[in-house]
Amino acid sequence: MINIVLFGPPGSGKGTQAQHLSEKFNLKQISTGDLFRYNIKNETELGKLAKSFIDKGELVPDQVTIDMLTDELRKPSNTNGFIFDGFPRTVAQTEALEKIVRQELNSEISICLSLVVDDEILVQRLIKRGETSGRTDDSDVEIIRNRIKEYYAKTAEVAELYKKQGKYVEVNGVGDISEISEKLFAEVEKIK
Ligand code: C5P
Ligand code: MG
């Protein structure tokens, strides 16, 4: 199995690149942000809870997100592996992921691919995406800045854990989308 953690701040291109990677290597993309938005749209209890955090640009509490991810991983699927897009976002989520992947898939995280993009470019990209995404958390510059703040406060340290395991690879996330994909593909080929 190949199990990829696609890592990076909001607006770094995780969703786009996760899709490309999933097609290239036949991997199932699991986007926790998309799962939350699906629940919000369908007005589930989980959606209502998540919305109260997402609309402020804050992280949803760990256990809520971990439980949702676990349910998703338990669904039967015919795949060579998984791409985790937007998860893990905290140290607790990273530790939980390691455990779930071991228990549910009898496997491990193969690599953490990290998209590197400057903060000011992130803000510009998210404002632009907000013109069409319909996402409440893309529509306000204060919320966008808070998401980036949450990233530095809680998520950035996740990189250290994968660095320690020798699984962390940075790729420049600024430039032509397909060129970035090619760089990511090359990193995956190296560990296949
Ligand atoms: O990954 P994405 O940018 O789509 O996530 C949107 C929002 O969902 C985040 O800003 C956060 O509020 C919430 N989220 C979370 N924990 C995750 C993934 C997403 O709290 N692991
Ligand atoms: Mg995304």
For residue range 7-65, list pLDDT tens digits in order. Answer: 999 999 999 999 999 999 999 999 999 999 999 999 999 999 999 999 999 999 999 99
Torsion 98-104-109-113 (CA) sign: negative
**Domains of the chain, with CATH numbers?**
2-183 (3.40.50.300)
Query: What is the SS3 assignment for 84?
Result: strand
Tens digits of per-residue pLDDT, 92-117?
Answer: 999 999 999 999 999 999 999 999 99
**Alpha carbon distance 136, 53 (integer Å):** 11
Q: CA dist 130 to 32, 51, 86, 92, 163, Å?
A: 19, 17, 18, 30, 33
For residues 21 and 15, give the distance between their C-alpha atoms in angstroms, rounded to a whole number: 10
Q: Is 82 in the pocket of ligand 1 (CB under 6 A)?
A: no
Q: Which of 100, 76, 75 is nearest to 88 (CA)?
A: 100
Cα 51 to ligand 1 centroid, rounded to whole Å: 10
Instruction: Decide whether any atom of ligand 1 lies within 6 Å of the 35 Cβ.
Output: no
Ligand number nearest CA of 93 is: 1
Q: Which atom of ligand 1 is nearest to the CA of 147?
A: 10
The structure tokens 């998984």 sit at 82
| pTM more than 0.85 | yes
Structure tokens at 118: 């400057």
**pLDDT score recorded for residue 12:** 98
Nearest CA to 21 out of 191, 162, 183, 129 is that of 183
